[in-house]
Structure 1
């Protein structure tokens, strides 16, 4: 018994250390980007202006081993100590208190610990696409609490966590027909089960159904809602947590989830649902006119109940297999950055060739949709898929999630371009470029990126040429946004050095 107990303790200590490291890296990225200033001296040395203290870290893309200088000596910070330091700096910088965000930071770290323990016992999916979707232990690399799950006990959410390799049946509800709200093509939902006469079928996410139970009790009592069991086959949660993939039906379903994940409470808000079909039609038309193989996973429509419009809403999205080129395998772009077994860029012997092929597939569709169709894609890492041929070469880009799309002139051209550059370049290309350079020492990703953007120069897109000479790029300030209580959809940016400047070999911290 003692040896086993000692082993368990060592395992717990190891998981705790890993959880601290995973949770500290994105928090440090935020601190170094938004508040700290480089200090002269050794590499990794920074000054915290509000507190007047020195901070040093090891590593660049994923900083670690944070230490603060106090009373003439360096003191190592665990995650809780780092949270306290960040909160102190934020109070000094903004003059505002905030008790909610530190709790989210701690919850995010505890969620990582629970995820790591669950992954140690779980079997990863055989499908490499699903493996990429379920690989994000770190999550958003520039968010102070990327894995927060609303502060609830892990037992409530782990059964539905993509990072824990979860899969689960969806709950099937019957909604009285006179209370159903349908918009667009939702016919795929009716194939998931069978509703009795006078009712329409509505799948529900089990976690959301638990969260909404008090508000739905009356509808179950008076017969507006009835329970019809569960789907025969499991659904797989994707990186977005509330969006699941249903392989048998070849579709994605996006649900409301009354939990804050990163910046937003992930409910399907009425105002977004009411414009869903119009926006999706504009994006679908734009992609139909684009040259090349790029594809859009259409949000075909939504179904809900009038008495619980947002809580029970479900969006029906095209499946990925219906759009991927024959013989190609899709991967989540964020998964390529995080890393997983079988990731194509990790296995390539030619990172320069792989990267050129990747840029050719990803960059032109986003820029052409903007220039020719006024469509601002939210082409960040979690909304972008890349399909690779059998030899691992990128051959197709796919994009998803109409909720984040902006249309010109409803959004100004300047604001739309800024959003596009943040999502595509800062959030997406910089992160993958740095991951490639880290995994393939000596590889410089920026000449190829400059060449691809130079090839995109055109009279109707002067912004593309200006991007190559701009001294800075816009980077979203997620730490300050959450501390000041800004709306989750707000975008406030801080200028960062532009790695696309010819000959610029300085280290660039992307988002």
Structure 2
């Protein structure tokens, strides 16, 4: 019998007090959660340039990894684009491991102990997320936040798909979108002359000479250490820190804890860039023949601190009633149709490659990218939100006669590798692969889609070179290295 990890046992104890009705289902979900996280971890071990993996040998019965200390790690042939939990056991020499956290501890690699704790938390949180889901088929959502809350398993490829360190079980139930809570945001008054405000901060979030800054309750308690009594109720979206307000607008709040890979605060830099970036995106959107809309940033404010800031955006639903995040497509039957998947790939690549040719590389993963469906379910156009991580090439913009915006810092680069990595890693290795769910399905969709695309140098790179993807496991095992690390996945079109 599997011995529960400390995280699994702690979750069960808290749940027995808070929600005893969920304990049995939580326990039943744990084996599947372990397999889901182990599958993501094995993908990273198999495909990322980890310095302590000295060789890889593919055989008829699976893949073997040679480690720097002479040991061998053996598991199934990994499909880098699979989303199902296909790995239930990985063998380290003679010992079989079905628990990703214990496997990482047994590997004994640098920074592995901290990562093992994150993996254990990811398993327990994922089991909790699955345990709280309603039984039976769900009705087609009407409101945007209902779509967001259907995404239960988190990132399709990150081993920390549900890792929420610093969140108790009570806080996960109270704030996690998959648990469908109503969250009361605090409104912290800050003198306007002490804030950086860009865009038009609305009157209902002002009090005389003070700005009322929406703050997540977790942030209030754990980071700001203050009790906030005034507030507004909102529905949490997929990213947890972004919520849908009663008037339909979305607010991104600072949440200074590590979720998946990153600490979710809001930098002063991103606040300062938000207004010109939003105006620039509107201008570029006019060149997209109605195939793409950017959600407008209405206002952004920071009290000169990444821990106390907020961004107000319009809802993607203003661009269509049937609009949903790409990550939520997996909760529908649409991707099961090869024809539908190919049409969605054609639309996504048309938009992404045209923008890349103009000089804009989107971070088009399944959370930022949304699709508008017709009444029959056909993908008709895309919506993109959250411009904070796109990349912009002044040289490409100038080549196409597009005015270069007054932007600076990490947003701006002419490096071709950086631009292509940004788009291909998020769109093809992320949104499209996660929707397809396997290398075979992704290959079929891309083969059909690319026949209809203009042959540009960027498309040639996509067709002929290995597919870039973020090295998610390597990044978590490199805590002292800032920024993204990358790997190369087998090109599904090769």
TM bin (shorter chain)? 0.7 to 0.9
Aligned to 1:80: 101
Evaluate the alpha carbon distance shift between residue 48 and residue 130 of structure 1 in structure 2; reply closer, same or farther with a 3 A threshold: farther
| Matches for 1:42-61 after TM superposition, within 5 Å | 42-50=60-68, 51-57=70-76, 60=79, 61=82
- 1:101–1:390 Cα change, 3 Å: same
The SS at the match of 1:201 is strand
CA shift at 1:124, angstroms? 7.5
In structure 1, what is the Cα distance between the partners aligned to 2:61 and 2:178? 33
Q: Which of 342, 345, 348 is the equivalent residue of 2:334?
A: 345
Q: C-alpha deviations, 1:333-375, integer Å up to 9, x for none? A: 1122xx32xx1415x6xx1321233123322122111212x11
- The residue that corresponds to 2:453 in the other structure is 456
Aligned residue in 2 for 1:397: 382
Residue 423 (structure 1) aligned with residue 423 (structure 2): no
Residue 479 of structure 1 corresponds to 473
SS of the residue 1:249 aligns to? coil
Secondary structure (helix, strand or coil) at the match of 1:289 reads coil
Q: Secondary structure at the match of 2:437?
A: helix
Superposed, which structure 2 residues align to 1:147-166 within 5 Å? Answer: 147-166=162-181
CA distance in 2, matches of 1:12, 1:146: 17
Q: Is the 8 A contact 1:55 1:68 kept in 2?
A: yes
| Gap regions ≥5 residues in structure 1 | 1-5, 221-226, 438-443, 502-511
Q: What residue number does 1:300 align with? A: 298
Does the C-alpha gap of structure 1 residues 15 and 466 become closer, same or farther in structure 2, counting only changes over 3 Å?
Answer: closer
How far residue 436 of structure 1 moved from its aligned partner, in angstroms, is 9.8
* CA–CA distance in structure 2, aligned partners of residues 9 and 491 of structure 1: 38
- Structure 1 residue 196, shift from structure 2 partner: 4.5
Matched, 1:168 2:183: yes
Partner of 1:261: 259
Seen in structure 2, the aligned counterparts of structure 1 residues 120 and 353 have a Cα distance that, compared at 3 Å, is: closer
Measure the CA separation in 2 of the matches of 1:144 and 1:25.
Answer: 8
Distance verdict in 2 for CA 1:134–1:33, change over 3 Å? farther
Aligned to 2:403: none
Q: 1:48 to 1:140 in 2, by over 3 A?
A: farther
Counterparts of 1:253 and 1:30 in 2: how far apart (Å)?
33
Equivalent in 304, 322, 330 of residue 329 of structure 1:
322
> Where in structure 2 are there 5+ consecutive unaligned residues?
1-19, 395-411
1-structure distance, mates of 2:323, 2:319 = 10
Greater than 6 Å deviation, 4+ residue runs: 6-9, 121-125
Compared CA separation, residues 479 and 186, structure 1 to 2 (3 A): same
Where in structure 2 are the equivalents of 1:104-183 lying within 5 Å?
104-119=118-133, 126-127=141-142, 129-183=144-198
The whole-number CA distance in structure 2 between the counterparts of 1:385 and 1:500 is 25
Aligned to 1:65: 88
Deviation at 1:8, TM superposition (A): 8.4
- Deviation for aligned residue 1:121: 9.5
Contact 2:372 2:380 in 1 (8 A): yes
Residue equivalent to 1:209? 220
Aligned to 1:271: 269
Q: Is residue 22 of structure 1 aligned with residue 22 of structure 2?
A: no
Please report how far the alpha carbon of residue 76 of structure 1 lies from its aligned counterpart in structure 2 after TM superposition.
Answer: 4.4
Aligned to 1:468: 463
- SS of 1:137's equivalent in the other structure is coil
SS at match of 1:169: strand
Q: What is the CA-CA distance between 1:64 and the residue it aligns to?
A: 2.0
Q: 3-state SS of the aligned residue for 1:119?
A: coil
Q: How far off is 1:131 after superposition?
A: 3.8
Q: CA deviation at 1:201?
A: 2.5
Q: 1:500 to 1:271 in 2, by over 3 A?
A: same
Structure 2 counterpart of 1:369: 355
With 273-282 and 48-57 compared, the bigger mean Cα shift is at 48-57
Q: CA separation in 1, counterparts of 2:477 and 2:272?
A: 30
Indicate conservation of the 8 Å contact 2:76/2:87, yes or no: yes
- Supply the RMSD in Å over aligned alpha carbons: 3.1
**Separation in 2, partners of 1:67, 1:482:** 20
Identify the range of structure 1 (121-130 vs 395-404) with the bigger mean alpha-carbon deviation.
121-130
- Taking a change above 3 Å as real, the CA distance of residues 158 and 124 of structure 1, as seen in their structure-2 partners, is farther
Which residue in 2 is equivalent to 1:509?
A: none
Shift of 1:68: 0.9
Residue 476 of structure 1 and its aligned partner are, at CA, apart by 1.5
- 1:178-193 equivalences under 5 Å are 178-187=193-202, 190-191=203-204
The answer to whether the 8 A contact 2:40-2:157 is kept is yes
Secondary structure of residue in 1 paired with 2:464: coil
User: What corresponds to 1:357 in structure 2?
Assistant: 343
Q: How far apart, CA to CA, are the structure 2 residues paired with 1:129 and 1:161?
A: 16
1:440 match: none
In 2 relative to 1, CA 151–199 (structure 1 residues): closer, same or farther, beyond 3 Å?
closer
CA spacing shift, 1:392–1:48, aligned 2, 3 Å:
farther
8 A Cα contact 1:344 1:392, kept in partner:
no
Distance 1:393 1:287, change over 3 A: same
1:403 shift after superposition: 0.9
Quote the Cα distance in structure 1 between the aligned partners of 2:369 and 2:333.
15
Q: Contact (CA 8 Å) 1:474, 1:495: kept in 2 or not?
A: yes
